[in-house]
Structure 1
């Protein structure tokens, strides 16, 4: 596996901008988010297990969650869904949320190399802001955290990544996207941006090998198991 990663990484040039997905790449938040998403969907008549939520909704926007509830329950999803779900999340974020191991070293490396970075997440502006506060990273991402709420179409459409690149005055081919979700990888491919599949989130522990293949099939340019491998890949360019 290591040799395959090295070979894949060889096709990447050093980027001017690294665009991080948030949940599962910066914040080790996916387990919390998916547990509470499945619970709230089930409470609204769209019975969903944690495993189903993980398979269907990694990287997806709240609009997609609401559409699924409407489809499965046979009635419109009440507009209070985002607030109720976020309330469940925020209650747990306050005491449970941690950063993905090694992310601070990655950010320090990018600062040292003079490489810009930002977040492009399917999560809401409020959710990203609250989580960054919990992690003590709010100041580090001030003005460079972008949400699917800011564009017409969320992932797997390219809109969010193109918006983030334009906001950071960087052309798509000079970016590197770091993603843990198939929808995010597909969005990077559609944006014509190199993409490193990231497998370091704890939510992937039971499915890491299978998920790696899924991300490669979605079009990932490279694959890294954690932030330490991402750092080696970036510094080697």
Structure 2
């Protein structure tokens, strides 16, 4: 592996590879408020972007004071998929970022709180699945999803990569916290639904243009090695 690059780069999927988070926020805003959630768009961004299904259900049911209806996930998924089929796109600049990292020969994988079949379908729709085929990990692979570190540690172990030799590309607070807890260096994308201020913190490099990611990793990893 290049001395000035990590051994493994782990990508989140939603909001990092695939621009699904904007669609998810729209769906939540409509459906949650239809059942009396009275959420603002800002609240939905802060509470649910990057959250696991378990966290989502816990927060919503506490707000509503009652369990979600049995068909809730089906209704949510139907509306979400309908919009995705019409509008889903790659995150701006991600193709250039993946090309730049691939040139180094460093291993890439995906570790998402989403369901594996959803990750595969979304990546396939935007033409990115082949880049990660056989290297997709989901929260269903571990006992606890993000913000716990389990998923990232599981992905690293599969590649026999030490956590401190892994870089994680994330766009959510839950994902950033998980990567830090795993002892990995974080590259936090602030060009989506989460502000730079909420992503900033230790062992975290915040950026807002995916095209800059390959050079940013090289520059910051080199500095860490020199230090």
TM-score of the aligned structures, taking structure 1 as reference length:
0.85
2:208 paired with 1:225: yes
Name stretches of at least 5 consecutive residues in structure 1 with no aligned partner: 1-11, 205-210
Separation in structure 2 between the aligned mates of residue 230 and residue 167 of structure 1, nearest angstrom: 24
Q: 1:65 aligns with which of 51, 56, 73?
A: 56
2:148 aligns with 157
Separation in structure 2 between the aligned mates of residue 81 and residue 141 of structure 1, nearest angstrom: 30
> Superposition pairs for residues 1-237 of structure 1, below 5 Å?
14-201=5-192, 203=193, 211-217=195-201, 219-236=202-219, 237=222
**1:1-41 C-alpha deviation (Å, 9 max, x unpaired):** xxxxxxxxxxx951111111112211122110111123222
Separation in structure 1 between the aligned mates of residue 35 and residue 116 of structure 2, nearest angstrom: 24
TM-score of the aligned structures, taking structure 2 as reference length:
0.88
Q: What's the offset of the Cα at 1:212?
A: 1.2
Q: What's the offset of the Cα at 1:164?
A: 1.3
Secondary structure of the structure 2 residue equivalent to 1:230? helix
Separation in structure 2 between the aligned mates of residue 55 and residue 140 of structure 1, nearest angstrom: 30
Secondary structure of the structure 2 residue equivalent to 1:18? strand
Q: 1:127 to 1:81 in 2, by over 3 A?
A: farther
The ranges of structure 1 where at least 4 consecutive aligned residues each deviate by more than 4 angstroms after the TM superposition are: none
Indicate the RMSD between aligned Cα atoms, in angstroms.
Answer: 1.9
Secondary structure of the structure 1 residue equivalent to 2:176? helix
